[in-house]
Chains A and B, each alone.
Chain A
């Protein structure tokens, strides 16, 4: 059953259709990827799904709910939790507190209890936070402030925070950007672990190695339109994808990513079993 499904979803910024008639489906328990060149509208897609930008036309359904008009925080409570491409951690809170914020689901009277009672966190939330920390190997830095962390660690804290919210669908916006190859591979393994614990994942990334390796199904977005979809093996061979990545001239990194993909595609055509670790797709 599809956990998330969009029906002809369109997002317009003035004259620009950042998403045009996007039909996309994320089945439960799967890891679905979305790739596309810079400015293709990937972040816009997540923004629209999570309520950070208005959908101009079309519909989004999540877990049997129509999301029309719902605020971002309510969608988060439904289990639709995202990370941000730019690092948006709570700088005043320790890593553990960052996670706790996402884990706690306050009631309307929480504030009265919080005013009157000395500090206390429920065992359930603590456990969930501890779980998210240990899954990503962040135990050692739990009591540090985000500003004391390295870029890679901050990225992981972002993912851990989303995980602590106990999401049904985890939407990751370029979690591997800025990570080195080993870190990126490790992240890929983590993602597969999350899947096993019942979290569905939607992944955006420029790191082709990561996306092609871990995803069950991939959509390709260009100029706001879905130009291809399929399993990693199908995407590798798709001429439209190669075109989109080679045809655009959005800077060196992108061209490099495209070439790497093309090279790999060619390699894959001659030897389908080979899966060279990616290095060209690193996108900062």
Chain B
């Protein structure tokens, strides 16, 4: 018994961090109605700023040098001294940084997003999180750090007579959290500012009557939350061991559990909830070494706690159908009716097949083969997001986890107890042939998808996003990283045997060790086309109509005889199945599967690019795939701009892209590009000599201007930029920008085609969207 009490108390150390981050979540939510997924990232950037200043004497600003010139640079690092600065100075700097980040978050992101759809807000805060993570990776490195604790480091020898040594640091952390909780509660309860915030959260007019601007209040609340996160991480973080940008950002999930216990309203209950979650986690870790503890739960038990808490709390509070008069949420962009699927498929397949053959053994250019494959697999994964989020409006942040389930299950079904080069430890398994193994993998993913979808029956919007991200984390530690289930020791990957069909070998790696086999590229292409056909059929048939009906209005859908719950589960199942196919293809491409590929952040990154491409359409998934990390456009840009290290900035650009898309163009890129390409395609078909002449006259100067600028920029930054490509790139970029500009001038976006009748003018082949990069 005394052991139990001791471990409960010990867990409250980490729990106090959840409590403080949770309190920040509550403050932001009340202040501006946003569930801030970046709360952990705020804490992370703050504590790293503190540590960096104290350890190395540098202040690293939260951005990067984005000017592509040598002479003109954006200041990123400020040197404070040859050695580290003193703790108080570092503390003040960190707090100042937190203030700045809070203000930036409000003014640059969430203020512009204040009347966006819930998905837009989620995307915005995920974008901020990815951005801060990416910047932190560049500024501080991705490895763990152990900042010096500023709390006392002694121990209480026999704490409360429990017979064990209890760290004083943990004790002060708990006291700190409770005191801070009470202070915050007092501030919001008794000051005019607090009163105004509470008034504003129910009704903006209330705050105005009290003489405050609602926007000012929101900004102040962002600053408070950001500073709170930073201070908490500095004071409480070191008790949890070494800190990494990704690990700290992930704390937001347990903190969300705490905040949800407090109904996103009460700071005191949230603090208590955070402490309890930490305590229960610690107790589970203690118990997990006991005999009675189920073996497969041993490694992941603690990560499941927040998921269970979040799931149960939300499920109990949810309603099957929204109440009458529930505030109408802003809608997602239209999901266009797909037209001319076959023509597009034929043309693009030809392009990809030709490319696959050209790039085989093409020296430096053979990287494009792998890039194409990566992009096409990403498109498959994003198609699953189009189904679940674009069509049914359910925000799932677990799509990559479904892919992981299917890949892991497939690998296990292929395993036969032999060892491989990549994994010297034998993994037992039935040794099934690839089609059966893959099928079992996909079916498992579907089953898991439906189970994850169960909460969606009663939980909607942002809250569902929270549940799914908690689930993704649980799955990661319960399954992918769980040795007792995967039999993979020491992080070894599970090997995947290559597929083959009709005697054609479909392995991804060629004889020279390069991933450039056209057979594999075509294999992925065929699978992608299959998935596109499925989704296109779905959208155009009754099931798609029912999905969109549910997305538009659940009450009206029920009145039209639609079983809303069933449609949601069905959508989760279909989406998980498509994601599962993506996972299988990832496995074949990789030749093995490892947990690192399916961490929960992967889902976020893919969602970011799916949203950038356009989450409501098939075209969007394709464009998103091209944009995906290590995808075609990244590799292409990296090829032309060799020294720019584009790949270092994918997360940052992805995060920024998410924010900008959410604010500027929730439709995504695809629907914006579509009219442009349609126009071009129509023109190319009808143009004769005279038209070409006129076009050259009109566009020529713009192109030349772009070429000149490209030529001038090139020597400013790095010498290895290709003398040939930069001007050409500049020329096409100029044409592209002109096109977008003209389109914007012509009165926003051209209407997206809809309806069962194809629009009379049909676009033929659109040129490869190289200039999109």
Please report which residues of chain A, range 51-84, place their CB below 8 angstroms from some CB of chain B when the two chains form the complex.
Answer: 51-53, 71-73, 76-77, 81-84
- Report the separation of the CA atoms of residues A84 and B549 in the bound assembly, to the nearest whole angstrom: 15
- Cα–Cα distance between A145 and B552 once the two chains are bound (Å): 13
Residues of B531-580 at the interface with A, using a CB-CB cut-off of 8 Å, are 534, 537-538, 540-546, 548-549, 551-553, 555-564, 570, 574
Cβ B543 vs Cβ A115 within 8 A: yes
- CB <8 Å contact, B556 and A117: no
Given contacts A72-B558, A76-B561, are A145 and B321 in contact (CB under 8 A)? no
Inter-chain contacts of B344 with A (CB < 8 A): none
Nearest CB on B from A6, distance (A): 19
Min distance, Cβ A117 to any Cβ of chain B, angstroms = 6
CB of B542 within 8 A of CB of A118, answer no
Distance A110 CA – B564 CA, assembled complex (angstroms): 15
Query: Is B756 a contact of A143 with CB atoms below 8 Å?
Result: yes
Known: A73-B561, A90-B552, A101-B562. A47 touches B324 (CB 8 A): yes
Known A-B contacts A114-B538, A143-B755; A101 and B564 likewise in contact (beta carbons under 8 Å):
no
Q: In the complex the two chains form, what is the Cα distance from A48 to B100 in whole Å?
A: 52
* Cβ distance A236 to chain B, nearest Cβ, rounded Å: 32
- CB–CB B542/A106 < 8 A: yes
A89 and B324: CB pair below 8 A?
no
B101 to chain A, nearest CB (A): 37
Extra pairs beyond A81-B559, A101-B542, A105-B561 (10, CB < 8 Å): A43-B324, A71-B558, A76-B558, A92-B334, A102-B561, A115-B534, A115-B574, A119-B540, A119-B541, A165-B561
Chain A residues with Cβ under 8 A from B563's Cβ? Answer: 71, 73
Q: Which 7 A-B pairs have the closest CB atoms?
A: A76-B561, A114-B541, A119-B540, A88-B556, A114-B543, A72-B558, A143-B755
Cβ of A216 under 8 Å from chain B:
no
Cα–Cα, bound, A162→B540 (Å) = 22
Bound-state CA distance A161–B562 (Å) is: 13
Rounded to whole Å, the gap between the CB of A34 and the closest CB of chain B is 17
Chain A residues in 8 Å Cβ range of B557: 90, 101
Most chain A CB within 10 A, of B542, B556, B570, is at B542
Alpha-carbon distance between A37 and B552 when the two chains are bound, in angstroms: 30
Q: How far is the CA of A88 from the CA of B557 in the complex (A)?
A: 9
Decide if B331 touches A118 in the complex (CB within 8 Å). Answer: no
Contacts of A121 in B (CB 8 A): 542
Residues of B within 8 A of A96 (CB): 755-756
Q: Say whether B545 contacts A97, CB under 8 Å.
A: yes
A238 sits at the interface (CB 8 A): no
Q: Point out the residues of chain A lying under 8 angstroms from B365, CB to CB.
A: none
Residues of A within 8 A of B158 (CB): none
- Residue on B nearest A143 in the bound complex, by CB: B755
A164 nearest in chain B by CB position? B560
A73 to B562, CA, bound (A): 5
Measured CB to CB, the nearest residue on chain B to A119 is B540
Contact across chains for B541 and A90 when beta carbons are under 8 A apart: no
21 inter-chain pairs at a CB distance below 8 angstroms, sorted by A residue, are A52-B321, A52-B558, A71-B320, A81-B560, A84-B556, A89-B556, A90-B556, A91-B552, A92-B552, A96-B755, A98-B549, A100-B545, A101-B542, A101-B545, A101-B546, A101-B557, A104-B545, A114-B543, A143-B755, A162-B559, A165-B561
Chain A residues lying within 8 Å of B548, measured Cβ to Cβ, are: 90, 92-93, 97
Which residues of chain B are near A89, meaning CB under 8 Å? 552-553, 556
A111 to B542, CA, bound (A): 8
| Chain A residues closer than 8 Å to B544, beta-carbon distance | 114
Instruction: Name the B residues within 8 Å of A81 (CB-CB).
Output: 559-561
Q: Which residue of B lies closest to A72 (CB)?
A: B558
CB under 8 Å from chain B, chain A span 195-252? none
Given contacts A82-B559, A101-B546, A119-B540, contact A145 B534 (CB under 8 A): no
Tally chain B residues at the interface, Cβ within 8 Å: 37
**Which chain A residue lies CB-closest to B564?**
A73
Query: A93 contacts B552, CB within 8 Å?
Result: yes
Chain B residue at minimum C-beta to C-beta distance from A113? B541
In the complex the two chains form, what is the Cα distance from A82 to B544 in whole Å? Answer: 22
Q: How far is the CB of A63 from chain B (nearest CB, A)?
A: 15
Q: How far is the CB of B282 from chain A (nearest CB, A)?
A: 42
Complex CA distance for A93 and B755, rounded to whole angstroms: 8
Specify the chain B residue showing the minimal Cβ separation from A142: B755
Residues in B whose Cβ lies below 8 Å from that of A84: 555-556, 559
CA distance A28 to B552 in the complex (A): 33
- Does any Cβ of B come within 8 Å of A94's Cβ? yes
The residues of B that contact A120 with a CB separation of less than 8 Å are: 541
Instruction: Tell me if A92 and B551 are in contact (CB < 8 A).
Output: yes
Residue of B nearest to A78 (CB): B561
Set A101, A111, A118, A165: member contacting B540, Cβ < 8 A:
A118
Residue pair B543, A111 in contact (C-beta under 8 Å): yes
Closest to B562 in A: A73
Cβ-based interface call for B71 (8 A): no
User: Given A52-B324, A101-B545: A77 and B561 within 8 A (CB)?
Assistant: yes
Shortest CB–CB separation between residue B335 and chain A, in angstroms? 6
Whether B754 contacts A145 by the Cβ 8 Å rule is yes
Q: Is the CB of B546 within 8 A of A106?
A: yes
Using known A-B contacts A90-B553, A111-B570, determine if residue A161 contacts B541 with beta carbons closer than 8 Å. Answer: no
CB distance from B747 to the nearest CB of A (A): 16
A97: chain B residues at CB < 8 Å are: 545, 548, 756
B143 CB–A CB distance under 8 Å: no
Q: Check B560 against A93 for contact (C-beta < 8 Å).
A: no
Contact residues, B607-647 vs A (CB, 8 A): none
Q: Which chain A positions have C-beta within 8 A of B553?
A: 88-91
For B563, the closest partner residue in chain A by CB is A73
**Cβ of A118 and Cβ of B562 under 8 Å apart?**
no
Please, which residues of chain B bring their CB within 8 A of the CB of A101? 542, 545-546, 549, 557, 560, 562
8 Å CB interface, B445-485 against A: none
Judge whether A106 and B756 touch: CB under 8 Å: no
Give the Cβ gap from A98 to chain B, nearest Cβ, in Å: 8
CA distance A120 to B321 in the complex (A): 30
Q: Is the CB of B559 within 8 A of A94?
A: no
Enumerate chain A residues within 8 angstroms of B552, measured Cβ to Cβ. Answer: 89-93
Structural contact, B542 and A110, CB atoms closer than 8 A: yes
Q: Is A123 an interface residue (CB 8 A)?
A: no
Q: Give the shortest distance, in Å, between A233 (CB) and chain B (any CB).
A: 33
Contact B537 A114 (CB under 8 A): yes
- Minimum Cβ distance to chain B for residue A274 (Å): 39
Task: Please tell me if A19 contacts chain B, counting CB pairs below 8 Å.
Answer: no
Contact A106 B754 (CB under 8 A): no
Query: When the two chains form their complex, are residues A90 and B555 in contact, meaning their CB atoms are under 8 A apart?
Result: no
A77 vs B558: C-alpha distance in the bound complex, in angstroms?
A: 10
A100 and B755 contact, CB distance less than 8 A: no
Hey, which chain B residues are within 8 Å of A114, CB to CB?
537-538, 541-544
A143→B757 contact, CB < 8 A:
yes
Given A92-B334, A94-B756, A96-B756, A72 contacting B559 (CB threshold 8 A): yes
A98 CA / B552 CA spacing, docked (Å): 11
Which B residues are CB-close (under 8 A) to A52?
A: 321, 324, 555, 558-559
**Cβ contacts under 8 Å, B549 to chain A:** 90, 93, 98, 101
> Cα distance A121–B541 when bound, in Å?
8
Decide: A91 near B545, CB < 8 A? Known: A84-B555, A115-B538, A143-B756.
no
Residues of A within 8 Å of B574, CB to CB, are 111, 115
**A91-B331, A93-B552, A121-B542 known; A115-B537 Cβ under 8 A:** yes
Looking at the assembled complex, report how far the CB atom of B331 sits from the nearest CB atom of chain A, in whole angstroms. Answer: 6
Shortest beta-carbon distance from A26 to chain B in Å: 18
In angstroms, how far is the closest chain A Cβ from the Cβ of B288?
41
Taking the complex as formed, is A10 at the interface, i.e. its CB lies under 8 A from any CB of chain B?
no
Contacts of B542 in A (CB 8 A): 100-101, 104, 106, 110, 114, 121
Q: Decide if A117 touches B560 in the complex (CB within 8 Å).
A: no
User: Which residues of B are found within 8 Å of A115, using beta-carbon distances?
Assistant: 534, 537-538, 541, 543, 574
Chain B residues contacting A162 (CB-CB under 8 Å) are 559
For residue A116, CB closer than 8 A to chain B, the reply is: yes
* B:311-350 near A, CB below 8 Å: 320-321, 324, 331, 334-335
Please give the distance in Å from A88's CB to the nearest CB on chain B.
4
In the bound assembly, the distance between CA atoms of A118 and B337 in angstroms comes to 13
